[in-house]
Structure 1
Amino acid sequence: MTDAVTNDQWFREAVVYQIYPRSFQDSNGDGIGDLRGVIDRLDYLQALGIDVLWLSPIYTSPQDDNGYDISDYQDIDPTFGTLADVDELIEQAHARGIRLVMDLVVNHTSDEHPWFVESRSSTDNPKRDWYWWRSPDEHGEAPNNWESFFSGSVWELDETTGEYYLHLFSRKQPDLNWENPEVREAVYSMMRWWLDRGIDGFRMDVINMISKITSLPEGTPIPGNSGLGDGTPHFLNGPRIHEFLQEMHASVFEGRAGQLLTVGEMPGVTVEDAILYTDPARHEVDMVFQFEHVGLDHGDHKWDRRALDLRELKKSLGRWQDGLAEVGWNSLYWNNHDQPRAVSRFGSDAPEHRVASAKLLGTVLHVHRGTPYVYQGEELGMTNVPFATSDDFSDIESVNYYRMAVESGSDAESVLANLRLGSRDNARTPMQWDSSEHGGFTTGTPWFRVNPNYTEINAEAAVADDDSVFHHYRRVIELRHTEPAVAHGDFHMLAADHPTLYAFTRRHEGVELLVVANFSGDELSLDVLDDVEQWAGSTLLLGNVGAPASVTAPLRAWEARVLRR
């Protein structure tokens, strides 16, 4: 990293790689990825050039929601390994100059967590107020009409005490009551324990949901949804969220600044919200994950999919670039464990275009201002899965939606078509390491089937091919490390209204970069840019489809270039 970045802003020059552990590498043949598998692949990650490794949850869990339902925050699920394995992973990653960030899931726990087991045991248990308990309403029904993110009501009746508990997600994920200071201190103590163990920060799951309007008012009725309503205005970016995050910073991170990374996953966050959350002077988080751009191909709801309009994408990402230009910082991502594969969604997974469009997506994203995140397999151009029937899906969100949609009268094939496009399962198939059985992921039976295209798309083949998606990602990551304009330059969107050209400049200390990318399978002239002739003598820093006739020649199908002058 260059000296241009201050110690506590090191993440501006960093690239983060997300691992979904159960699907990354199985080391013992049980069909599920584990920590030993991650350790075995650190050299691969080092070769890619990443700076930070983010692990999705590996804590003890009943696995109702693939580990996001935690029953012990300070132990490792035997599926993944042991605390000793974590210690070795920390040591081995640090030896390679890679920081390790853990997932922090503290909006809710598992219903099998000892805290909740105590809480539900009686109405006068000392931990009763650690969760959101309410009596039935005057009709003996749920306390309010909020809909769960995983379908159905957010309320589950507990037969032991005759009261309902709140769960914004699965009924096995009861929400913690952050109004209770004992809850907050228990969480902070756990976080300090992990930092003392040597990890380098946290990705904070749905962290902007921890503060709720305590009266839990009714949500706006959702048409045709059996009386359920939208409760998000009452728990997204709630009344005490900034207080809680500042308290967390003071209790956990104060005195450790300069080496850690904190990123808050925040559905529904706006640019204005993000400025507050990420302003370094406010001591909350370094950056947020926002979801605006990954909602642009949604119609009336998530499962109503429509074609993406590139102009809408540019408008959204450009607004975030401008909004956080002076204060705060952006996170940059195309996909993660909750999103379908980027090349199938934003690019083209057609055989003739997959490699070029995967490289294009990496180029465009990584040269934006912000910290880029690579999701496992993205650097190979891994694609969505050809799911055949509803039985092929594993994810609780997808399974629940299919059942409820079909039961309510929706056409089964239409529901299935949208699931194929948007299911989280697309991101959760095992990593494709080589062309051997199960893609080299396991010697046993994989917990979830490998995408059948693993014989063509795999890491072994990519590493051996200097023109692969992998090596292009390696080069664009290196560009962030070596060209200060990428990490520190300003951002200016060009041709905002063009339907297939994504173009922008980055400028820093007398250096200017131009990024041009053709989001289509047709040739595209650069004459639509007013001053393109002025770039004729510039240097081509990076391209994705072979040397062009000239740096300002028409862009070929799914071609991207980074020019410097």
Structure 2
Amino acid sequence: MTSSPPAWLADAVLYQIYPQSFADSDGDGIGDFAGIEQKLDHLAWLGITTIWINPCFTSPFHDAGYDVADFLTVAPRYGTNGDLAALVDSAGRRGIRVLLDLVAGHTSDQHPWFTASAGDPGDHRYIWAPEDLRPPGYQPSPGSRPGWYRPNFFPSQPALNFGYARADPGEPWRLPVDAEGPRANRQALRDIMDHWLALGLAGFRVDMAASLVKDDPGHVETAKLWTELRGWLDGAHPQAVLLSEWGDPGTAVPAGFHGDFFLQFGGDDDGLPLRSLWNNDAGTVSEEWAPARPYFDAEGAGTPQTFLTAWRAATDTIGDAGFAVLPSSNHDFSRLACGPRTAEQLPAAFVFQLTWPTLPAIHYGDEIGMRYLPGLPDHEGSVLGPRYNRAGSRTPMQWDSSTNAGFSTGPADRLYLPLDPDPDRPTVAAQRADETSLIHLVRRLIALRKATPELGASAGVKVLCAGYPLVYVRGSRYVVVVNPGRTPATATLPAEVRCSALEASGVTITDSGDIGAAGFGYGVFEVE
């Protein structure tokens, strides 16, 4: 039985940093650790408590760093291990913890483990099929070893061998989870975590966490693996956390994680919980997914019920063992500001995210309303299909009105990705100078959440109206109203109350309990 999550996690406000695109300190067009360190005062001002940095290890960058060639050394484009240590130390002095992204299920095909395995038929760190039988999707050996290897995602990402849950006479190369190769890989995960936690890191977000054990119905053996690893972590590093990219909190937390993200995929509803909130099929949606009207839709054509049902099922399963994490977007999924969604629609979304009982995770730039940028070229594996280009959510952070929006002093043609060309693009500097801006609202909401435990991840919630508007009570005395549609909407509280507004725009509550919500209105109220 694993222990409860570290106490600090319950109050965390997460902030995802795509390091290539956040801040460039040396003018080479690519963000780096020193650039992140220079912006820590801004993150502290905003109220961020924990940053998650996308993979920053040595890599050929065929998949933007998710193809790791050395788990113990950072990529030179970002700096050195010492620069990362300095960043962690500087963040800690500001009360900010740092999580790294751990790619657990595969490596780059340039990792020394793989090049050794490709030359040694007796090495079972990876999954190899014999020369005379090529299963679908397997790739040819690049070394002297005959046969075919199994990739996890792109061909350049060979799957580490954590074993198979079931044997198959037709695939005699399948190894059980306790075979030598799988045992070595489980130990390697401990060694990698131990190495970085000793540097002061606060934990990890684990990429493709459900992918490790193959042919694993119900993820039973994968859950055993992570539960075993969590038991070690609880003893060796009790304040460290594991968050997963599983997309199914009700499965991932019982499997040993402290928290899991609602994502654009995963779970019984194939990702509908997150996509039903704020996806609008802006270009990072697989052609296999049917476009859906999200609840945060100007036409009022969505429903919050899909998310509410999935959230309730997950949290009833999780109990006090961990948390569901609600991201504003991420490096793989459309930003909040995408497609037809305009800036006036974003405040209500943040009011919901920062007052709902989940851990909030803000994708860099969402707090100022950076938009998903369509039509970009494929860069470091960003394009996954005709309608699925992830680059639009990975563009450079927009800091100010100086050259390259303050992201880099280098020439524009050397930037990691092009900037948003809109002359009216939002910037941190302009919004910090404007008390009515989105960033100030986000900052006030974070401060309110921190000062009011009943608005946090652990307090109860009761939904009073699951439509337009959405009305819910946090704890016993806080009423939240959001109307993502442009059409005014009304609702009625079940009893007469006297409420005072803590943060509101376009929403009123009369003493008789009548709620009026203007289009795109929102409000957080305290019952007197």
Q: Whole-Å Cα distance in 1 between the matches of residues 72 and 120 of structure 2?
A: 26
Structure 2: which amino acid aligns with 1:513? Answer: Y
Instruction: Report the counterpart of residue 524 of structure 1 in structure 2.
Output: 489
Q: Are 1:247 and 2:228 matched, yes or no?
A: yes
CA RMSD of aligned residues (A): 2.4
Question: Which position in structure 2 is the counterpart of 1:173?
Answer: 157
1:289 aligns with 2:261: yes
* Correspondence for 2:516 among 551, 554, 557: 554
Shift of 1:171: 0.9
Within the candidate set 433, 440, 462, 2:431 is matched to 462
Q: Which residue of 2 aligns with 1:411?
A: none
Q: C-alpha separation between the residues in 2 aligned to 1:161 and 1:323? A: 45
- Matched ranges for 1:237-386 at <5 A: 238-257=219-238, 259-267=239-247, 269=248, 271=250, 273-274=251-252, 276-277=254-255, 284-291=256-263, 292=271, 293-296=273-276, 302-303=286-287, 304-310=289-295, 311-321=302-312, 323-325=314-316, 326-328=319-321, 329-344=323-338, 349-350=341-342, 354=343, 356-386=344-374
Amino acid at match of 2:240: L
Paired AA for residue 471 in structure 2:
A
Of 423, 434, 448, the residue aligned with 2:389 is 423
Specify the alignment match of 2:97 in structure 1. 99
1:160 aligns with 2:137: no
**Contact 1:366–1:372, Cα closer than 8 Å, also in 2:** yes
CA contact (8 A) 2:280 2:338 kept: no
Q: Does 1:541 align with 2:521?
A: no
Q: Match of 1:75?
A: 73
User: Which of the pair is proportionally richer in helix?
Assistant: 1
Give the superposition deviation at 1:522.
Answer: 1.8
Residue 246 of structure 1 aligns to which amino acid in structure 2? T
Question: 1:208·1:237 contact (CA, 8 Å) conserved in 2?
Answer: no
**Secondary structure of residue in 1 paired with 2:379:** coil
Counterpart check, 1:133 vs 2:101: no
Q: Give the secondary structure class of the aligned counterpart of 1:109.
A: coil
CA distance in 1, matches of 2:47, 2:349: 18
User: Paired residue for 1:475, among 444, 449, 469?
Assistant: 444
| Residue 183 of structure 1: how far off its partner (Å) | 1.3
**1:484 and 2:465 equivalent?**
no
Q: What are the equivalent positions in structure 2 for 1:231-242 lying under 5 Å apart?
A: 234=216, 238-242=219-223
**Partner Cα distance (2:140, 2:524) in 1:** 53
Any stretches of 5+ residues in structure 2 without a counterpart?
A: 164-181, 264-270, 296-301
Distance 1:83 1:275 in 2: 31
Cα distance between partner residues in 2 of 1:238 and 1:160: 34
Q: Distance in 2 between matches of 1:382 and 1:305?
A: 25
Q: Deviations over 1:435-494 (max 9, x none)?
A: 223211111131210111364301110111111111111111111111111123212223
Equivalent of 2:474 in 506, 514, 526: 506
Q: Aligned pair 1:10/2:18, yes or no?
A: no
**Which residue number in structure 2 is paired with residue 24 of structure 1?**
22
Matched, 1:394 2:379: yes
Aligned length: 477
CA distance in 1, matches of 2:74, 2:314: 39
Shift of the 8–454 alpha-carbon distance from structure 1 to 2, 3 Å rule, reads: farther
3-state SS, counterpart of residue 502 of structure 2: strand
2-side partners of 1:187 and 1:34: how far apart? Answer: 25
TM-score by length of structure 1 reads 0.79
The alignment partner of 1:338 has SS state of: coil
Contact residue 109 and residue 176 of structure 1 kept, 8 A: yes
Distance 1:211 1:286 in 2: 20
Which residue of structure 2 lines up, in the alignment, with residue 412 of structure 1? none
Cα displacement (A) at 1:342: 1.3
**Counterpart secondary structure, 2:361:** strand
Distance 1:298 1:212 in 2: 33
C-alpha deviation, 1:91, in angstroms: 0.8
Partner SS for 2:524: strand
Q: Against the structure 1 CA distance between its residues 364 and 454, is the aligned structure 2 distance closer, same or farther, given a 3 Å change threshold?
A: farther
2:517 counterpart SS class: coil
Question: Contact (CA 8 Å) 2:314, 2:324: kept in 1 or not?
Answer: no
CA contact (8 A) 1:343 1:361 kept: no
Matches within 5 A, 1:39-78: 39-78=37-76
Query: Aligned AA for 1:262?
Result: L
- Using the alignment, how far apart are the partners of 1:456 and 1:28 within structure 2? 24
Retained in 2: the 8 A contact 1:209–1:237? Answer: no
Say which of 488, 493, 517 aligns to 2:463.
Answer: 493
Q: Where does residue 205 of structure 2 map in the other structure?
A: 203
3-state DSSP class of the match of 2:367? helix
Q: Do 1:158 and 1:164's aligned partners in 2 also have CA atoms closer than 8 Å? A: no
Whole-Å Cα distance in 2 between the matches of residues 397 and 557 of structure 1?
35
State the distance in 2 between where 1:210 and 1:132 align: 11
Give TM-score, length-normalised by structure 2.
0.84
Distance 1:482 1:209 in 2: 39
The 1:550–1:312 alpha-carbon spacing in structure 2 relative to 1, beyond 3 Å, is closer
Q: Are residues 365 and 107 of structure 1, via their aligned partners in 2, closer, same or farther at CA, if it must alter by over 3 Å?
A: same
Cα distance in structure 1, aligned partners of 2:502 and 2:138: 51
Q: Percent identity?
A: 28
How far does residue 193 in structure 1 lie from its aligned partner after superposition?
1.0
Q: What secondary structure does 1:556 align onto?
A: strand
Structure 1 gaps of 5+ residues are 1-5, 146-152, 214-233, 278-283, 403-418
Q: Deviations over 1:490-513 (max 9, x none)?
A: 1222333x3x32222211xxx322
SS in 2 for 1:563: strand
Report if the CA contact (8 A) 1:21-1:58 is conserved.
yes
1:297-330 Cα deviation digits (max 9, x unpaired)? 699x822552324255432244314541434321
The alpha-carbon distance between structure 1 residues 34 and 397, as it changes in their structure 2 partners (threshold 3 A), is closer
Shift of 1:431: 0.5
